[in-house]
């Protein structure tokens, strides 16, 4: 456990990160050590620089190492602000997350995350996937390996040990993890297999809401787009391979190419969104369908999740339509096309 020291001049605490706590995010570490303090207050003291790691400011996403020294300021919580005892994820969320688990081994959990479920709490959402998993498995030290947007469905990896978290994060940083998505885009994609290398600024806010945009001063962002299935001139199903993992990367790169993602209310095309809503699309058509990598000490990890019914039914309706846009074509990646049409019951990740 962390060692607790007190500074006499004020009610400031210093905690030393224990070996078993290494790899945790700073915000999650503070949630555990500031019991009853709302997440909004925790994020506030981090942003203001009142929390220090080894004497330096750090962001909420900073990963801690063993023996890091954390300065925690005095935090006074009004009774009405305190987190109610016994409060936790709803039974409905717990059931949804439990059912979403499609694979587990000694190092990882794999979930087929439904759209509409956040991966973690924050920004007006009290609980997400990770909080529900921790409630379901209180004896385990669970951490998100990566993130998915709330409206994106599909493969989500959760580390069961600090060692697994460090290894998978290293693989992601080094570009050794292959992440593939399926997305329905507006119009006919005529660019073939196309690499979009367009830097993204992720720190822009419009009306207080984060908005990502292509900008030469942004961070390197690389996505490979491959057409899988054409629906005349109306839409194209594409497979996207990510080489970097910026916020909203696929959505912004697709819009930048002139083919926004179906159902994307932020970066999409309003007229196209209206058309696909008429076909029954009630969410954004973006699905994380596979993830794979090689463990450094040997062994292949591969997980996949097929399109959920609410997305595959939209493709069925597009196929059944006979519009004067020309004949529908299914040229593209056979593997991705099979993944798109595979029933949910066949989602069995391979992991060794």
Residues marked active site are found at 149
- Specify whether the CB–CB gap between 260 and 254 falls below 8 A: yes
Tokens, residue 242: 């990510």
Using DSSP, state whether 265 is helix, strand or coil. coil
Q: Which two tokens stand for residue 279?
A: 């076909």
In whole angstroms, give the CA distance from residue 98 to residue 133.
8
Dihedral sign for Cα atoms in the order 151, 157, 163, 168: negative
Contacts of 30 (CB under 8 A, 6+ apart): 37, 42, 46, 51, 70, 72
Q: b/e for 106-133, b at 16 or more Cβ within 10 A?
A: ebbbbbbbbbebbbbbbeeebbbbbbbb
Nearest Cα residue to 119 out of 139, 101, 144: 144
């Amino acid at each position: 456990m962390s060692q607790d020291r007190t500074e006499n001049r004020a009610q400031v605490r210093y905690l030393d990160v224990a070996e078993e706590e290494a790899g945790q995010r700073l915000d999650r570490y503070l949630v555990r050590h500031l019991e009853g303090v709302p997440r909004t207050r925790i994020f506030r003291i981090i942003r203001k620089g009142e929390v220090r790691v080894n004497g330096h400011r750090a962001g909420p996403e900073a990963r801690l190492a063993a023996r890091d020294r954390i300065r925690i300021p005095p935090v006074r919580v009004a009774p009405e602000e305190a987190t109610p005892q016994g409060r936790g994820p709803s039974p409905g969320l717990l059931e949804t997350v439990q059912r979403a688990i499609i694979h587990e081994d000694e190092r990882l959990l794999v979930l087929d995350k439904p759209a509409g479920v956040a991966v973690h709490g924050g920004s007006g959402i009290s609980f997400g996937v990770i909080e529900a998993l921790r409630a379901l498995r209180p004896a385990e030290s669970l951490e998100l390996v990566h993130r998915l947007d709330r409206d994106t469905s599909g493969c989500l990896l959760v580390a069961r040990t600090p060692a697994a978290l460090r290894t998978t994060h290293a693989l992601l940083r080094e570009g050794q993890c292959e992440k593939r998505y399926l997305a329905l885009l507006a119009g006919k994609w005529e660019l073939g297999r196309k690499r979009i290398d367009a830097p993204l600024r992720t720190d822009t806010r419009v009306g207080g809401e984060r908005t990502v945009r292509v900008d030469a001063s942004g961070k390197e962002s690389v996505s490979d787009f491959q057409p899988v299935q054409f629906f005349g001139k109306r839409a194209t199903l594409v497979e996207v391979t990510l080489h970097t993992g910026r916020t909203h990367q696929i959505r912004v790169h697709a819009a930048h190419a002139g083919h926004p993602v179906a159902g994307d209310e932020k970066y999409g095309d309003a007229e196209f969104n209206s058309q696909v809503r008429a076909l029954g699309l009630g969410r954004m058509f973006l699905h994380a369908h596979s993830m794979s990598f090689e463990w450094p000490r040997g062994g292949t990890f591969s997980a996949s999740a097929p399109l959920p019914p609410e997305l595959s039914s939209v493709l069925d309706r597009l196929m059944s339509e006979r519009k004067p846009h020309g004949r529908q074509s299914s040229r593209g990646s056979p593997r991705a096309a099979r993944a798109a049409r595979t029933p949910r019951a066949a989602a069995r990740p391979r992991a060794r």
